[in-house]
Amino acid sequence: MNLLDPPSRWHVRLAGGGLVEVWADGYAIDGDSYVFDVLVTATPEYQAKVEITARTPTAPERVCVAVARIPTSAVEELHTAGIGPDLDCACGSEEGPGRGGVL
């Protein structure tokens, strides 16, 4: 399986205050979950072992694969996070819960 593009970095603030970091191209709401996915090329054998979220009819090896599924009821807020050498994000997550961060 090969990623086609560098994924984006997402911050998912949980209702309980925790923070989940997900690297993915994007997300969609599927029923009662946020489903994050990445666009990849993968053989049919590989595709049979993962959750496919979207297909490209003209290019069967090009599919979107789920990388995280998080119940919407558990999520307070989510946003794209900064990408850089220090991985700072405007939400202040680099301080992190339990490390003196301001939530």
Q: Which residues of the shown chain bind Zn ion in the complex (CB under 5 A)?
A: 11, 81, 89, 91, 93
Nearer to Zn ion, 63 or 81 (CB): 81
Planar angle of CA 52, 35, 51, nearest 5 degrees: 20
96: three-class secondary structure by DSSP: coil
22/81 with CB nearer Zn ion: 81
**Cβ(32)–Cβ(71) under 8 Å?**
yes
Which residue's CB is nearer to Zn ion, number 11 or number 38? 11
**How do strand 26-30 and strand 33-41 relate by DSSP bridges?**
antiparallel
**Across the strands, what pairs with 29?**
34
Alpha carbon 54 to chain centroid distance? 15
Q: 19 or 63: whose CB is closer to Zn ion?
A: 19
Taking the complex as a whole, the smallest distance from the CB of residue 82 to Zn ion amounts, in Å, to 7
